[in-house]
Structure 1
Amino acid sequence: MTDITLLPQVEAFLRRRHTLFIDGGYVQSHSSQTLEVINPATDQVIAHVADADAADVDAAVESARRGFQQWSQVAPAVRGNVLLKLADLLERNREELAQIETCQSGKIIQVSRAFEVDQAAHFLRYYAGWATKISGQTLTPSLPSFAGERYTAFTLREPVGVVVGIVPWNFSTMIAIWKLASALVTGCSIIIKPSEFTPLTILRIAELAVDAGLPAGALNVLTGSGRVGQALVEHPGTDKVSFTGSVPTGIAVGRSAASAGLTRATLELGGKNSAGFLRDVDLDTAVNGIIEAGFLHSGQICAAAERFFAHRSQIEPLMARLSERLGKLHIGSPLDERTEFGPVTNRQHQRKLEGFFAKARAENNTIIHGGKPMDRPGCYVEPTVILANSLNDSLLNEETFGPIATFLPYDTEEELLALMNHTPYGLSASLWTNDLSKALRMVPAIHAGTVWVNMHTLLDPAVPFGGVKSSGIGREFGSAFIDDYTELKSVMIRY
């Protein structure tokens, strides 16, 4: 094992006494409680962060309200330029940010560099381009004229106000960037609540945002447990919540937001995503697709596939080929550039995955590969392949959010579509085939917010992303995000 050497500035950052980021700088929490940040690859405590309390929530909301009053009056082009400068700073500090991220999340360093930093900068530049393109419409009302009067009307897009961005632990940098970019480009201010497992990188990015020219209060970061997020959602001074996370927690957040005076909510939740392989796909292509769809970042991606359907004639050789490939993965330290598969992000999640392995055995599923934690320090579990007995088995219905690919055979393409849609969730799905005509006919029949063909998991900022059914409300990316971060105001004039 050959780990890269941590940069001196990373080691210095980890040694800090981390506080809250409010009103443009670090402030001490009113609470004396702290939370440990643990490196999931080593089980070592690498930092402590503040566990914010109610007084801290009030302070952050007051800061964000002041920040909103200033930031919402900034010219759109200036807002866009600040995001562009922040993108430049992310790239300039690429290795530092990637190393901090890998230390806190266990994400392999190559993924931290390519996705958490490079893609985050790409998304920032995309959102910056929208700053000067948010517009309304002019309309001509059909009201009757009694004395020669006339009418005209137009619509305005106005920022919704103070946004609460609740960020999960799986992609703590990139998802935070999605939320803060959406809020800031539309003229909103934002309070980021990172996961207690991965709170460090966004604290460093908040510093960079100030260097990029963001005024005090426009971006605030509150670290702490889940109760901090709940307090922000329920606070009368916040206007919108953007939540990414599990379905049960998202439903609870949505209910809290609705009860708190109908606070606007965008909910990007997980689910039980499907990948269907048509009979014409060769085994090597299918294996590569399965690894892309289900095993990137140890399966800890909300859009990752967990349910895999292959034709009955191919399923056994496909799983055998996949098992062979998984057995050759380089599993190791996420700071080793040779590593292809690292730990899951926290001990709690590792234990949850162990529970799924136990369920598979209790239901007499066939474990083709893996199926247990790894005997080494850290939160490692084996990449796992399971053959289910029926569509009712737990691992075809419950989100694992881990490196577990569960398979079931099908006989006809009609059955394949029925199997893929047999879930209360609908975030994403993928079809794999050499017959594009057939794929385009099948895509409309799949109940998911995103359907990939011959690919899975990869996102682009120009393409809207979000779920149907129990997988969420609202859309990220494209122009669709504008609807969720602005209010539409109608103006009518008689003259």
Structure 2
Amino acid sequence: MSEVTEIDPAVASRGSGTIPVYDPSTEELIGEVPDSDQAAVDAAVARARETFEFGVWRRLPAKQRADVLFRAAQIIRDRTDELAVLEGRDNGLNVAAARHIITVALDVLMYYAGWVGKVHGQSSDVVSDGVLGHYERYHNFTQLEPVGVVGLIIPWNGPFFVAMLKVAPALAAGCSAVLKPAEETPHTALKLEEIFREAGLPDGVLNVITGYGETTGAALTAHPDVDKVSFTGSTEVGRLIVQAAAGNLKRLTLELGGKSPAIVFDDANLKKAIPGVGMGFLAGSGQNCSCTSRIYVQRGIYDQVVEGLVRFAKKLPMGGSAEPGSLLGPLVSEKQRQRVLGILNDGVAAGAEVATGGKAMDRRGYFVEATVVTNTTPDMRLIREEIFGPVGCVIPFGDEDEVLVAANDTRYGLAASLWTEKLGRAHWFADELRAGQVWVNCSIAADPAMPISGHKESGWGGERGWKGIEAYLTTKAVYISH
């Protein structure tokens, strides 16, 4: 057993039991966190509610609130290496990739810290019929107010980054929050609470609880004193959250599953497209909701692209979070590895062909080889379901009309990438693809100022940009007669 991660004693007391946390690279126990029960959830929500009602955060001058967020950003910057190691041990990312996760999370926090004090409503002076039958003059204005106590639930892929996508705008808006990380990857979320407390955030404004989704997460989403839930995870769990939120008609932001297409036309720059498409389905070992794992390639270049993707997949070094030079890591758990292998085996049994990979690696850790699959059919699980593993399916197509129908033939609509040198085609496909974000000649691009919002069953609402902070605000209209 490797050294157990230390948890703040105040945090460690928040549950009736503990949950073991394992390093997916080595299968070793690296820590234990509280299994928060209903009483722990109630206590966390009560702390958040008290701070919100007393205004210890939302009523502070904007400069003071912004200063807290900027101080937290500086602490994160100073501790990037420490946080990267912790993130990597939780989910198997190599340290360089984990450091990148911390850096882009820092960018998100800096972006939303800049919004504090810049959120405002509108005003107007009008003359209107009054209730007594004569004209009255009104000075009208709207004000944007924090929605209240928010429940934030994050997945095990990129947990520090996804946590910041929710925590930063929620705090910038003036909300109080309860954050629940995935039970597999809780440590950087717990550190995040410590960082904000060190930066001067009043106690109780951000509360991190750990536990299983079906118990702790369910208690949080159904809690009658939570005004909004923001959830990132599977579409299936998203449906359960919708049902739970109906009790008090909570506001919801849902960033759910994806089965995103990449489309490679015969005019594409293949020196750029092949590695771009390769990382589009292999980034994070495929554990990214925006991964473009359905790869449509025009027939004239199909064989060339398949061969190129096979070479690319074979040359990427795979290893654990502490192994120098590794680019691809393990899956988060044995359960997830078996799910990925099960979908692959179902496809092969139905006639799909594995061009490279397709097996678990013969070593410690939950590794699956980088895999390229051909000869699929549209009804296979490989094409219909979100795999969340290092698997890309390469599918030939003839013309634009054919590939547009195929690309949109999914219940998801999170992202899409398009590879072409024709600007007109790029604009046309950007209009016609039913996806919340479209990348042209790139993959997995992101910016804090640009929103992400799922179409179809990929989610409700959006994150990042103005949409991100707007999701934690509510509008009040005020009329003043004069």
* Fold equivalence (TM over 0.5): yes
Does residue 433 (structure 1) correspond to residue 420 (structure 2)? The answer is: yes
User: Shift in Å at residue 389 of structure 1?
Assistant: 3.4
Q: Is the 8 A contact 2:125 2:137 kept in 1?
A: no
Deviation at 1:152, TM superposition (A): 2.2
1:453 aligns to 2:448 (yes or no): no
1:86 alignment counterpart: 72
CA positional deviation for 1:192: 0.6
Letter in 1 for 2:136: E
Kindly state the Cα deviation for residue 382 of structure 1 after the two structures are TM-superposed. Answer: 0.5
- Whether the aligned pair in 1 keeps the contact of 2:15 and 2:35 (CA below 8 Å) is no
User: Does the residue aligned with 1:321 lie in a helix, a strand or coil?
Assistant: helix
For residues 299 and 494 of structure 1, do their structure 2 counterparts lie closer, same or farther at Cα, with a shift above 3 Å needed?
A: same
Runs of 4+ in 1 over 6 A off after TM superposition: none
**TM-score, with length taken from structure 1:** 0.93
Amino acid at match of 1:440: H
Kindly indicate whether the alpha-carbon contact (under 8 Å) linking 1:110 and 1:337 is maintained by their aligned counterparts in 2. Answer: no
1:57-88 per-residue CA deviation (whole Å, 9 max, x = no partner) reads 11101111122231111122221221111111
Which residue does the alignment assign to 2:47?
Answer: 63
Aligned mates of 1:432, 1:27 — CA distance in 2: 49
Q: CA deviation at 1:401?
A: 1.1
Letter in 2 for 1:373: A
Cα distance in structure 2, aligned partners of 1:179 and 1:311: 39
* Shift, 1:141, TM fit: 4.1
Aligned to 1:386, the other structure's residue is in SS state strand
Identity of aligned residues (%): 38
Kindly state the Cα deviation for residue 289 of structure 1 after the two structures are TM-superposed. 1.3
Structure 1 position 292, deviation (Å): 2.3
Does 1:235 find its partner at 2:219?
A: no
Distance 1:151 1:376, change over 3 A: same
1:419 aligned partner, one-letter code: A
Tell me the SS of whatever aligns to 2:448.
Answer: coil
Partner of 1:494: 481
Specify the alignment match of 1:298 in structure 2. 285
* Selected match of 2:129 from 135, 144, 147: 144
Q: Counterpart amino acid of 2:14? A: S
Whole-Å Cα distance in 1 between the matches of residues 172 and 75 of structure 2? 17
Q: Among 379, 386, 394, which residue is 2:381 paired with? A: 394
Shift of 1:255: 1.9
For normalisation by structure 2, the TM-score amounts to: 0.96
- Which amino acid letter does the alignment assign opposite residue 80 of structure 2? R
State the Cα distance separating 1:176 from its structure 2 match. Answer: 0.6
Tell me: CA distance 1:15–1:243, structure 2 relative to 1, closer, same or farther (3 Å).
closer
CA distance in 1, matches of 2:366, 2:339: 11
1:215 and 2:198 matched = no
The answer for the alignment partner of 2:27 in structure 1 is 43
Note if contact 1:76-1:185 (Cα within 8 Å) is conserved in structure 2. Answer: no
TM superposition shift of 1:462: 0.4
**SS state at 2:47 partner:** helix
Q: Distance in 1 between matches of 2:170 and 2:191?
A: 19
Task: Map 1:79-228 to 2 at 5 A.
Answer: 79-115=65-101, 117-141=102-126, 143-144=128-129, 147=134, 149-226=136-213, 227-228=215-216
Q: What SS does the corresponding residue of 1:130 show, helix, strand or coil?
A: coil
Contact 1:266–1:475 at 8 Å: present in 2 too?
yes
SS in structure 1 of the partner of residue 480 of structure 2? strand
Paired letter, 2:433: I
Q: Are the counterparts in 2 of residues 388 and 396 from structure 1 also a CA contact under 8 Å?
A: no
The equivalent of 2:242 in structure 1 is 254
* 2:62 alignment partner AA: P
Amino acid paired to 2:64: V
Deviates more, 1:386-395 or 1:81-90: 386-395
Describe the shift of the 1:105–1:140 C-alpha distance in structure 2 as closer, same or farther (beyond 3 A): same
Shift in Å, 1:340: 1.3
Q: Structure 1: give runs of 5+ residues left out of the alignment.
A: 1-10, 20-24
Matched-pair contact (CA < 8 Å) for 1:372–1:382: yes
| Cα distance in 2, alignment partners of residues 370 and 461 from structure 1 | 35
> What SS does the corresponding residue of 2:276 show, helix, strand or coil?
helix
2:249 and 2:76 mapped to 1: Cα distance? 35
Residue correspondence of structure 1 range 333-344 to structure 2 within 5 A:
333-344=320-331
Question: For the Cα contact (< 8 Å) 1:141–1:151, is it kept in 2?
Answer: yes
Is the contact between residue 376 and residue 393 of structure 2 (CA under 8 Å) also seen in structure 1? Answer: no
> In 2, Cα distance between the equivalents of 1:286 and 1:477?
27
Aligned equivalents of 1:445 and 1:427: distance in 2? 14
Tell me the distance in 2 between the aligned counterparts of 1:38 and 1:378.
10
- Please list every run of 5 or more consecutive structure 2 residues that lacks an aligned counterpart in the other structure: none
**Aligned-partner SS, 1:309:** strand
CA distance in 1, matches of 2:94, 2:348: 30
- Cα distance in 2 for residues equivalent to 1:394 and 1:30: 38
Q: Which shows bigger deviation, 73-82 or 348-357?
A: 73-82
Corresponding residue of 1:75: 61
Asked if the contact 1:105/1:170 (under 8 Å) is kept, the reply is yes
Provide the C-alpha distance between the structure 1 equivalents of 2:375 and 2:288, rounded to a whole number of angstroms.
22
Which deviates more, 382-391 or 415-424? 382-391
Counterparts in 2 of 1:286-325, with a 5 A limit?
286-325=273-312
Structure 1 residue corresponding to 2:453, chosen from 466, 479, 488: 466
Which residue identity does 2:474 align to in structure 1? E
Amino acid of the structure 1 residue aligned with 2:379: N
Which secondary structure does the structure 1 equivalent of 2:465 belong to?
A: coil
Name the amino acid aligned to 2:216: V
Assess, with a 3 A threshold, how the Cα gap between structure 1 residues 101 and 322 changes in structure 2: closer, same or farther: same
Q: CA 1:364–1:148 in structure 2 vs 1: closer, same or farther (change >3 Å)?
A: closer
1:269, distance to aligned residue in structure 2 (A): 0.7
CA contact (8 A) 1:18 1:48 kept: no
Match of 2:259 among 272, 277, 283: 272
1:394–1:388 CA distance, 2 compared to 1 (3 A): farther
Report the CA distance shift for 1:235/1:321 in structure 2 as closer, same or farther (over 3 A): same
Provide the C-alpha distance between the structure 1 equivalents of 2:145 and 2:152, rounded to a whole number of angstroms.
19
Deviations 1:434-457 (A, max 9, x none): 112221122101101101111111
In structure 2, C-alpha distance between the alignment counterparts of 1:271 and 1:476, rounded to whole Å: 15
CA contact (8 A) 1:384 1:405 kept: yes
Contact 1:18 1:49 in 2 (8 A): no
1:188-244 deviations in Å (ceiling 9; x for gaps): 011110000000111112111111110000110001111101101111111110000
Instruction: Note the C-alpha offset of 1:27.
Output: 5.5
Residue 89 of structure 1: how far off its partner (Å): 0.3
The whole-number CA distance in structure 2 between the counterparts of 1:354 and 1:17 is 34
Query: What value does the CA root-mean-square deviation take over the aligned residues?
Result: 1.5
Name the SS for the 2:372 alignment partner: strand
Supply the distance in 2 between the matched residues of 1:281 and 1:481 (Cα, whole angstroms). Answer: 34
